[in-house]
Amino acid sequence: MTTSPPPSRRFWTDGPGGVLWRSGATAIVALVAAEIAVLLVIFGYGILALAAAALSLAAGLTVWRRGLLPCAVVACAISLPAASATRDPVRIAPRATGVQIVQPRTAAEIRPSYRQGFGALVVDLRRTRLPSGGHLSISARSDTDRVIVALPRDRCVNVRVRRTLLPAPGDVERRALRLAGLPADPRMPAYMVSGFGGPGPAPPAPAFPATSVFSRISGASPDGHAVVRRSRDARAASLDLVVASPANVVVRDFPSSVGLLNEEAWQQVSGSQWPVGVETTPNPGQRREAWAWKPRWSAADRRRGIPRRWARWGAAVVPELRAQAARAAGYCASRGVLAGYWATAEITGRSATVYLSVNGVGRVAWTRVLSDGSVAPTAPAIPVGGAV
């Protein structure tokens, strides 16, 4: 029995076998080079990708002429994705992932600009000694995540915020980032500060990257549009913020007790939604189902003292809601600003949901939403302040 001789060396160099392995090797090298080129462009080193493409083509023309075609394929694989990524203005600083928190102690330690590549950026100024009547300018940018600027809760600060919405990575960039094991999409928190804008139920949280300045939410403002918030103190320090992010931006004062720390498990910034989540006294219906609110109290309800329980709850919760609205308005808010902030307690009934709202100066408003979603012009009088 005769066996065919093994392929000669010439078969693997100049024969069909050589064409096969050279084609496969060229394809693998071209794919890897293309992904690396996209990453270089995203990180701002596109000139290196172009230099690598030119070097590959020059090597095929001068040093290894038999490999001109593979070198040309690699050069095209580098140039075309790099050119596609260049058209997309996404640029990411090659920094470590995670949440970057900066806490300058004095105004002299504040840098003109802060930037984070992968992860949220927190500029914590709560313990910074800001000069009275002084003016500071800070540029804060996160290429892939949120930006949070924490102001002191016990000092007045005038704030001017200009926000730039950065583009999210495109398909080519996301694929390259995923292959490199890097986060490819902007992180959005599961909730966004919403409400405080008026009496009644809070509007739904925006589905777009939003800007929240002292709990007032707006869409990503066009470049050059500024959100200004002035305090009532004429000697307050002024802070000019230029913020850039593809995700949400939060600017407000925070108490020192609120820990803006990195939660590694979720890559979130704890406490950034304050004062949302500050609990008030639960109403009687939340304590016991039999004490639920009704449009009219029966004689049996009155004998059981249920209306008096609601009266006591109203007397306790109104000042709590007023304080919550004042917290949302921020320290040093003027009376006019306080009047525009509302905190609301929801009361679920059998046929309707009633919202008790109190603004920062103590005005009380009622809103009744029926089961079909319609809003009643007037709400039934739930006792507040002890009156039944």
Secondary structure of 280-337 as H, E, C letters: CCCCHHHHCHHHCCCCCCCHHHHHCCHHHHHHHHHHHHHHHHHHHHHHHHCCCCCHHH
In a domain, 294, yes or no: yes
- Other Cβ atoms closer than 10 A to 105: 10
Please indicate, yes or no, whether residues 245 and 323 belong to a single structural domain of this protein.
no
Please indicate, yes or no, whether residues 107 and 224 belong to a single structural domain of this protein.
yes
Q: What pLDDT is stored for residue 360 in this prediction?
A: 92
In a domain, 132, yes or no: yes
In a domain, 385, yes or no: no
Query: Which residue type occupies 242?
Result: V
Please indicate, yes or no, whether residues 157 and 232 belong to a single structural domain of this protein.
yes
* Domains of the chain: total: 3
Please indicate, yes or no, whether residues 57 and 202 belong to a single structural domain of this protein.
no
Please indicate, yes or no, whether residues 247 and 119 belong to a single structural domain of this protein.
yes
Please indicate, yes or no, whether residues 308 and 237 belong to a single structural domain of this protein.
no
Q: Tell whether pTM > 0.75.
A: no
Please indicate, yes or no, whether residues 17 and 68 belong to a single structural domain of this protein.
yes
Q: How far apart are CA 264 and CA 98, in angstroms?
A: 8
In a domain, 381, yes or no: no
Which of 214, 235, 269 is the endpoint of a domain?
269
Q: What pLDDT is stored for residue 189 in this prediction?
A: 47
Q: What pLDDT is stored for residue 297 in this prediction?
A: 82
Q: What pLDDT is stored for residue 168 in this prediction?
A: 67
In a domain, 361, yes or no: yes
Burial grade of 289 (CB within 10 A; 0-12, 13-18, 19 or more): exposed
In a domain, 346, yes or no: yes
In a domain, 277, yes or no: no
CB 34 within 8 A of CB 78: yes
Q: Determine the structural domain holding residue 159 and report its residue range.
A: 100-269
pLDDT of the chain, 388 residues: tens digit per residue = 455 555 555 444 455 555 565 666 666 666 666 666 666 666 666 666 666 666 666 666 666 656 666 666 666 766 666 565 555 545 555 665 667 888 899 888 999 999 887 778 889 998 898 888 889 999 998 887 788 899 998 889 999 999 888 876 655 555 555 555 555 555 544 345 556 888 877 776 666 678 888 888 776 554 557 888 888 888 889 999 999 888 888 898 888 877 665 444 334 455 667 777 778 889 888 888 788 877 778 898 889 988 889 888 988 999 999 999 999 998 888 899 999 999 988 887 766 788 888 999 999 888 888 767 677 655 555 655 433 3
